[in-house]
Amino acid sequence: MAVSPLVPYPSGALPSRPGTSPLKLQASANASLNGTPLLARPAGHEIQGLMSLDLVEQMNEEEKRKYVKGKKLGEGTYANVYLGHSRQDPAVLVAIKKIKVQKEYKDGLAPDAVRELKHLQELHHSNIISLLSVFSSKDQNLNLVLEYLPLGDLEMLIRDVDRVRYGAADIKAWMGMLTRAVWFCHDNYVLHRDIKPNNLLIAADGEVKLADFGLARGFADPGRKMTANVITRWYRPPELLFGARHYSGAVDVWSVGLVFAELIIRAPFLPGNSEVEQIALICRQIGTPTEENWPGVTQLKEYTVPSDTVAVWGKDAYMGRFGAVGAEGVDLLIKTLVLNPKKRITAREMLEHKWWRTDPKPTRKEELPRKSSGADEKMGSDLKRRPGMLDDETNPRGAKVARKLDFGAAK
Amino acid sequence: MLRKAPVGARGMAPGTASGAALPLTTDDMCPVCKTIRYLNKDMEFLINPECYHSMCSNCVNRLFNDGPNQCPYAGCNRTLRRKGFRSAFFGDLTVEREVDIRRRVAAVFNQAEDDFETLRDYNNYLQMVEDLTFDLVSGAEGKRPAAEAQLQQWEAEHKADIERNRKAGREADEQARRRLTAEREAARQRRIEAIKEAEDEKLERARSREAELDTLAQAPEGQRVQLKRRGQTNRAGGATASAVETTVNTAIAAADVGRLSIRGLKEKRKAPAPEGPYDPFGGSDFVPSRYKVGEGLAHPQVEKYRFDQQHITGGYSFDDYTARAMFEAFAGLGVFIEDEKEVGIGMSAGQVATIGAGIAAVGDRMELD
Ligand SMILES: Nc1ncnc2c1ncn2[C@@H]1O[C@H](COP(=O)(O)OP(=O)(O)OP(=O)(O)O)[C@@H](O)[C@H]1O
Ligand SMILES: [Mg+2]
Ligand SMILES: [Zn+2]
Ligand SMILES: [Zn+2]
């Protein structure tokens, strides 16, 4: 069989639901409001079959010419990301995500790119990164043009303990934006499957945006197996660690809970070095999954837990460590970290929780703390790191240690 | 416009009165040979940590390739070697020098927190190291040599400790590097599995469709109509006149929906209730969007999984499924789109262009509205 990533062809024809519905791409295609000639720009792929190849190429060129690529912003697993700007108006900045060529997929485009493309194109929400355009470059590389989010990501804020201070109102604002993003994905039947602080990018006005849809997929039909190997380990829920193949949005909710915990303690809450360690950490810090608290769990394929069963921790245990967000905040946190995915709170229910309406009120996005700016930024984060220490935050005394400049690691 | 850069005027060796007054890079001209960068775009400036006097790489090669030589800066008597030169990491050579000093100090004072009885002891140690560093970097005439002596003394006295800590540091480095590589590989693996997941799904969907068609072919009269309609839509992929019609109608239908939601977006943006209560849903209408589906609507293909332990334990949500199914059904176009969506392997450049233009069109309109 040939390589055939299924990711269904993105279809603009999928109808929208009023209210929460994303706006659909081809909506504007032929229906022009201001009298521009129809058919100037075909939009559905249905039309594509009728177009000459020349026209297609011309359109691609047109999209490509709209942007000028600049310096490299970052590198991910399957893409390099560059800064870019609009040729017409250089003040308009964009991020151009150029998908790395994958030998295995010479014929088609890299499937994770298609995945990202498909989902981003359908999800329009202020807390989800928006896709502005897409074009292929001469080497058949796919380029996604995304809105440029210049203020880094949540991970940078969490880790910069020395220079970034924030409080309960800020955490509530960030969590609100994250939860809305996830709720919107789920409401549109999309699982993100890679929620973590560094996939939460920050726009110039402080708005947090969920990015990196390279592992996303639509909700599966009953009986259809999904892969259990998704979500970065520290944020992976117990059902996936135990090898469940039929899961739901609850997997993302667990990740959201761990981002919440991390925002509070400013260190990853469950930083397992391996899958086994991850499960052990969950058992120790949250409680051991058993038939009592999660019927059927022992039948999951990869179910193994440390022999010393730990009872699920109650609210008091959490208050000590996470009390900064108040009793209601802790209540919400606990509900996201329920072992049994069937009992775990949903994204929608999260938004209905009392915490949002209790004091303090979430900080307005424009007033949220930002990453410290300046050229020393990269250096700064390197300096804070002791050689070989990935996360000195795991050190309980870490935060209290006087700043130690360490130039051994720089350069 | 070109500033005169008198050789030696700005340069002072670190030992001299004020270590802070170090030579600054003249971005535009080599102070030794006066070559202007403008004329030679690739010109590279190098420094030697002996005295931090910068010069272009041509000068360095010319002067030091045949062995040690004196620094060409007037008044600087340092003997420099070719292999001591490197390009400056920082634009400001004062910073460059400080970094070098700090690196040297850090290599000697490399105690870790664990080496101390209390956090207080550790902080005192850090304070002491910082004071010493300050003296080395910008201490007055008398302080600098004293600090230098202190550094050397500590190095001599704690040789074994330093070596042990360095080894530990390197091991930790190595471990961290290995962990990072493993993380990367795991991330790559996840992507690959997600791809495989998609491929399997496509295969299976194709198979079940075939099975479905078979059943329909053997079905009684009434149901055969459905088969025929499917056939027609498939043909619509060609360039027949009716296909164009279908396409345009679909597009217009979708456009209507799209336009509605664009308007909706606008309105919400217009009314950003400045000091109202916080809305966790962020202004989106809070319509319970899940269709509550009664038992009656069950489909046997679905029912057989409802009590499947693997689905229950994994947290699979049948409510989500029925909601989605209803949504797609009410949306009316579901079936046909499903057929057309899976055009095949990946995507062609043409398809990308089409989507690109589509997105751009939506974007334009959003601005227009
Ligand atoms: N819109 C954007 N604006 C600014 N920077 C961005 C943007 N998108 C991505 N980046 C930068 O590029 C980096 C890689 O992007 P991204 O996470 O999307 O790639 P990826 O291949 O999916 O990565 P991974 O799966 O390893 O996290 C990010 O960490 C970020 O620094
Ligand atoms: Mg990422
Ligand atoms: Zn020169
Ligand atoms: Zn000199």
ipTM: 0.72
Provide the number of structural domains found in chain B. 3
CB–CB contact B314 A246 (8 Å): yes
Give me the domain span that covers residue A318.
Answer: 154-367
Q: Are A336 and A260 in contact (CB under 8 A)?
A: yes
Model pLDDT for residues B91-143, shown as the tens digit of each residue = 777 888 888 898 889 888 888 888 888 889 998 999 999 999 999 888 777 78
Give me the domain span that covers residue B358.
Answer: 300-362
- Please say if the pLDDT value at position A255 is more than 90: yes
**Would residue B279 count as lying in a domain?**
no
Interface residue of B114, B185, B191, B319 to substitute, partner A, most A CBs within 10 Å? B191
SS3 category, B52: coil
Q: CB distance from A361 to chain B under 8 Å?
A: yes
pLDDT band at A153 (very low <50, low <70, confident <90, very high): very high
**Would residue B248 count as lying in a domain?**
yes
Predicted local distance difference test score (pLDDT) of residue A327: 96
Q: Kindly state whether residues B175 and B260 are assigned to the same domain.
A: yes
- Please say if the pLDDT value at position A158 is more than 70: yes
Predicted local distance difference test score (pLDDT) of residue B221: 53
Q: Kindly state whether residues A133 and A167 are assigned to the same domain.
A: no
**Would residue B318 count as lying in a domain?**
yes
**Would residue A406 count as lying in a domain?**
no
Q: Please, what's the b/e burial string for A230-255 (b: 16 or more CB within 10 A of its CB; e: otherwise)? A: bbbbbbbbbbbbbebbbbbbbbbbbb
Rounded CA gap, A16 and B258, in Å?
Answer: 7
Model pLDDT for residues A160-191, shown as the tens digit of each residue = 988 899 999 999 999 999 999 999 999 999 99
Q: Kindly state whether residues A219 and A138 are assigned to the same domain.
A: no
Q: CB distance from B317 to chain A under 8 Å?
A: yes
Q: Kindly state whether residues A139 and A166 are assigned to the same domain.
A: no
pLDDT band at B274 (very low <50, low <70, confident <90, very high): low
**Would residue B89 count as lying in a domain?**
yes
Predicted local distance difference test score (pLDDT) of residue A271: 95
In 3D space, the residue among B90, B95, B91, B63 whose CA is nearest the CA of residue B79 turns out to be: B63
Helix %, strand %, coil % of chain A (to 5): 35, 10, 50
Predicted local distance difference test score (pLDDT) of residue B14: 39
SS3 category, A217: strand
Q: What is the mean pLDDT of residues A148-165?
A: 93
Among A89-103, A215-229, A269-283, B44-58, the range scoring the smallest mean pLDDT is: A89-103
User: Given B130, B157, B184, which residue is the final one in a domain?
Assistant: B157
Q: Around Cβ A258, how many Cβ atoms within 10 Å?
A: 26
In 3D space, the residue among B338, B332, B329, B331 whose CA is nearest the CA of residue B233 turns out to be: B338
**Range ranked top by mean pLDDT from A106-115, A116-125, A191-200, B225-234:** A191-200
Q: Which atom of ligand 1 is nearest to the CA of A198?
A: 29
Q: Kindly state whether residues B41 and B103 are assigned to the same domain.
A: yes
Q: Are A22 and A125 in contact (CB under 8 A)?
A: yes
Burial of A200 (0-12, 13-18, 19+ CB in 10 A): buried
How close is the nearest chain B Cα to the Cα of A47, in Å?
7
Rounded CA gap, A195 and A256, in Å?
Answer: 7
**Would residue B42 count as lying in a domain?**
yes
Q: Are A29 and A44 in contact (CB under 8 A)?
A: yes
SS3 category, B190: helix
**Would residue B186 count as lying in a domain?**
yes
Q: Which residues of A touch B278 (CB under 8 A)?
A: 176, 356-357, 361-362
Domain CATH code at residue A124: 3.30.200.20
Model pLDDT for residues B297-355, shown as the tens digit of each residue = 567 777 888 889 999 999 999 888 888 887 777 664 433 333 333 333 345 556 666 66
Sign of the alpha-carbon torsion through A57, A62, A63, A66 = positive
Backbone angles phi, psi at B210, to 5 degrees: -60, -45
Predicted local distance difference test score (pLDDT) of residue B43: 79
Q: CB distance from B276 to chain A under 8 Å?
A: no
Q: CB distance from B235 to chain A under 8 Å?
A: no
User: Given B157, B178, B203, which residue is the final one in a domain?
Assistant: B157
Q: Provide the mean pLDDT of chain B.
A: 70
Annotated binding site of A for ATP: 73-81, 97-98
**Would residue B121 count as lying in a domain?**
yes
Q: Kindly state whether residues B110 and B140 are assigned to the same domain.
A: yes
Helix (DSSP H) and strand (DSSP E) numbers for chain A: 12, 9
**Would residue B295 count as lying in a domain?**
no
- Rounded to 10 degrees, the C-alpha dihedral A41/A43/A46/A52 comes to 30
Model pLDDT for residues A323-366, shown as the tens digit of each residue = 999 999 999 999 999 999 999 999 999 999 999 999 999 999 99
Q: How far is the CA of A74 from the centre of ligand 1 (A)?
A: 6
**Would residue A395 count as lying in a domain?**
no
* Closest residue to atom 18 of ligand 1, CA basis: A212
Provide the number of structural domains found in chain A. 2
Q: What is the mean pLDDT of residues B247-270?
A: 36
Rounded CA gap, B298 and A210, in Å?
Answer: 35
**Would residue A337 count as lying in a domain?**
yes
How close is the nearest chain B Cα to the Cα of A50, in Å?
6
